[in-house]
Amino acid sequence: MSTITATIGFFDGVHRGHQYLIRQVTETARREGGKSLIVTMHPHPKAIVQPGHEPRLLTLPDEKMALLHATGADRVEMLHFSRQMSLLSAQEFMQKVLKEQFHVDTLVMGYEHQFGHGGGTLEQYRAWGRACGIEVVRAHEMEGEHVSSSVVRHRLEEGDISQANRMLGRRYSMEGTVVKGHQIGRTLGFPTANIEVPEEKLVPARGVYATWVVLPGGNRYKGMLNIGRRPTLDNGEEITIEVHIMDFQGDIYRQRLELQLEERLRAERRFGSLEELRSQLASDALQARRLLE
């Protein structure tokens, strides 16, 4: 029976730091002639232990699983994180979940990562591992900058898409359903699709973005995305996500789109008139088109 080398974490975003850790897991498994296993979980542990304090997610469960499978790991498992699981000590978790459920032989722990109620030091994890037949090894830290899910979130909340994308190793994306909008965009010459994104998904800072729009079936178009309250139109406090899809005509109401954000063009601002807004949108569209060429 082949050995199993595993790692565990929430892995929100599956960013370059996560990818670096997972490569160490897959390479270790390959060297030992065994299989690699990634163990993740949902919902976010803070949603259980500190309800109301959990972060908005960079990747929803389906997105995260697809990205984890794409790393080349032999197997990916998602645990349902519950109140009962939150009370397991690290030693209990290693015995009951990692050993008895997943038959793990080697556990590669991310730099400074802890799990289990109360956590522990690396030496404690190693001792607990020995007690149940798991060798615990510390992963190498990625050289250069420190990349974490919280840093990526912070960049997105500031609208710094290019830095967030660099840390993720891909464009930040949001999927959502096209819903009925106010249809003001078409009167300005820039018809938009209003996108409803799941509440737990992190939406970047308000502003205008150059974005790729992926339609059902995989066709990809250039787009200009607006996230905000549309102050010129006195939209109140409601945040809307609307995208103008370039060189496209068609009915996509109630269909799911994917937005792959490329670059933030500008922050949201109020204009003195609709004519001024129309002129700025024309300039934004030209800039977005050039960026996406």
The domains of the chain, with CATH numbers, are 4-138 (3.40.50.620), 171-292 (2.40.30.30)
b/e code 81-112 from CB counts within 10 Å (16+ = b): beeebeebebbebbbebbbeeeebbbbbbbee
Give pLDDT, residue 189: 76
How far, in Å, CA of 122 to CA of 143, rounded? 20
- Which residue in 37, 26, 30, 49 sits closest to 4, CA to CA? 37
| pLDDT by position in tens, the chain (length 293) | 789 999 999 999 999 999 999 999 999 999 999 999 999 999 999 999 999 999 999 999 999 999 999 999 999 999 999 999 999 999 999 999 999 999 999 999 988 889 999 999 999 999 999 999 999 999 998 888 889 999 999 999 999 999 999 999 999 999 999 998 766 656 677 899 999 999 999 999 999 999 999 999 999 999 999 999 875 566 666 889 999 999 999 999 999 999 999 999 999 998 888 899 999 999 999 999 999 99
Three-class SS of residue 148? coil
- Which residue in 283, 290, 274 sits closest to 185, CA to CA? 274
Which residue bears the tokens 């309800």?
Answer: 51
How far, in Å, CA of 197 to CA of 180, rounded? 13
- Which residue in 242, 255, 184 sits closest to 215, CA to CA? 255
Alpha helices in 112-208 (DSSP H): 122-132, 149-157, 161-168
Chain centre to alpha carbon of residue 193: 22
